[in-house]
Structure 1
C-alpha cells in the first residue's frame, strides 16, 4: 500500500515538472510599450451625433439668441453706442417686448428669434447706426471712429475708395459684428452692396450729400443679420 502511495506521489511530481517545463516564458514589455486597453465604447453604448443635414450643417447644439443684456452689450461694442432712442424708445423701454423677464408675470427670459424681436431690433439698428454714422462723418481721426476706422482721415465720395479699401472696411466690420470676417463670394456681394449705396447717395440732390447713410446701411445689415444675434 505504501509503495502504491509513493508511486502515485512520484508520478504527480513528475507530471508537475513536465508541465512547468512545457510552459513558454513571457517576454518582458519593451520600454515605452503600453499594454492594450479594451475599448469601453461598444456599439450601442452611446448616442451617435445628430445628422448635420438635419441641423443646417451643424452637429453641435442649436444656436441661441442673445438675451437683452447680451444684446445691449453687443450693440455697444460693435457700433460704438447704446440703443437709447429716439426719445424714450431705446432698448431699456423695449426690454420686455424683446424678451426680458419682468419676474411678475414672466419668470424666465424669452430667447426665441420671433417677429416682435426682429421688428424692434430693426428699429433700434436704424437709429443707432444712423446716429453713429453721422458722428463718424465729421471725425477726422480714424482711431476715434468705430464703423469707419479703416477709412482715410478725411473722405467724401465713397465711390473713390479702391476695391481693397472697401474690402478692408467690410472685413473689419464683419469681424466686429460677427466675430468672423467676410470672405469669398459673400465678400464680393457685400462689396457690390456698398458700391450701389455709395453711387445712390451721390445721385441725391441734397447738399451736403448724406454719405453717412452708406456706413449706416452696412451697419444695419450686419446688426440685423442672424450671425449677430445668435451664438
Structure 2
C-alpha cells in the first residue's frame, strides 16, 4: 500500500517540475524540421555556394571543362583509320611498339604521348593507307562505294581541278565530318579549300589525281582532332 502511494505522488508531481518549460509545438503532417547545409555554407538566399567548389572558368581552360584531351591508343588508332579511310593500316602491328603499345615484357603500360616518334610513323602509315585507298577509288565509278571521294560525281576520277567551289567545299565538309566528327566551317574551311586547290593542281600536272585526294586524307589523319578524344 505504501509503495502504491509513492507511485501516485510521483505521477502527480511530475507536471509541477516542468511548469516553466516551453511548450513543444506538435509536428504537423507534411512538415519537416529544418536541415542544415551539408556543404557548410548554409542557405542565405544570396546564391552562396558554401563549401561547394565552383566549376572552372571556361576562359582559363581554353573553353574546356573537364579532363584534357587524350591521344588514341594503338588499337583505337587502327580502328579509326580503317573506319575513316576505308581500309586498315597493314603495317600497324610492326609499328605498334614505336607508337606506344605495351609488350608486357619490358613495358606494361601503353604510352599515349604525342611524341616525335609517334608523329613520324603515323605520317608514314597515313601516306600508305591514303594513297592506296585514293588509287583504288580512282577506278570506282559509283560514289556510294567510295570512302574518300563519296561526294564527287559518278564516273572515274580524272581531274580534280574541274570541281567548282561548291563541290570542293562539299567534299571537304564531308571528309572533315568523317574523320573528325565535326565539319570544317568559316575561315578554316576557306583555308582548306585553298589547300585542296593546290593539291588538285599539282596532281593534274603529274596526271595522278589520286594524289590530290591522298594529300587531303593525310592532312586529316595527322591533325590533332583525329588523334585525340
CA distance in 2, matches of 1:153, 1:39: 67
Alignment partners' CA distance in 2, 1:216 and 1:156: 14
Q: Deviations over 1:15-72 (max 9, x none)?
A: xxxx9xxx9xxxx99xxxxxx9876553452333334344332122100010000000
Question: Contact (CA 8 Å) 2:203, 2:210: kept in 1 or not?
Answer: no
Given that 2:97 and 2:103 are in contact with CA atoms closer than 8 Å, whether structure 1 keeps it comes out as yes
**CA deviations over 1:167-216 (Å, ceiling 9, x no partner):** 11111111110011111111111111111111222233xxxx11001100
- State the alpha-carbon separation in 1 of the partners of residues 79 and 35 from structure 2: 49
> Is the 2:148–2:213 Cα contact (8 Å) retained in structure 1?
yes
Q: Which residue of 2 aligns with 1:193?
A: 195
| 1:152 aligned residue | 153
Higher mean C-alpha displacement, 156-165 vs 122-131:
156-165
Taking the aligned partners of 2:182 and 2:38, their CA distance within structure 1 comes to: 38
Residues 121-136 of structure 1 aligned to structure 2 (within 5 Å): 121-136=122-137
- Residue by residue over 1:108-130, the C-alpha shift from the partner in whole angstroms, topping out at 9 and shown as x without a partner, is 11111111111111100011000
Cα shift readout 1:123-144 (whole Å, capped 9, x = no counterpart): 0001100010000011111111
> Structure 1 residue aligned with 2:164, among 153, 162, 165?
162
Query: Counterpart of 1:105?
Result: 106
Match of 2:226 among 221, 225, 228: 228
Task: Look up the match of 2:214.
Answer: 216
User: Distance in 2 between the 1:230 and 1:214 partners?
Assistant: 25
Structure 1's 109 and 131: CA in aligned 2 closer, same or farther, altered over 3 A?
same
- Counterpart position of 1:87: none
Within a 5 Å distance, the mapping from 1:1-231 to structure 2 comes to: 40-41=38-39, 42=41, 43-84=49-90, 90-154=91-155, 155-204=157-206, 209-231=207-229
Which residue is 1:15 aligned to? none
Moved more, 41-50 or 102-111: 41-50
Give the corresponding residue for 2:13. Answer: none
Instruction: Measure the CA separation in 1 of the matches of 2:56 and 2:113.
Output: 22
In the alignment of these two chains, the number of paired residues is: 200
- TM-align CA RMSD: 2.7
| Worse-superposed segment, 45-54 or 107-116 | 45-54
Q: Which residue of 2 aligns with 1:6?
A: none
How many angstroms apart in 2 are the aligned matches of 1:77 and 1:46?
Answer: 43
Measured in 2, the distance between the counterparts of 1:220 and 1:115 equals 17
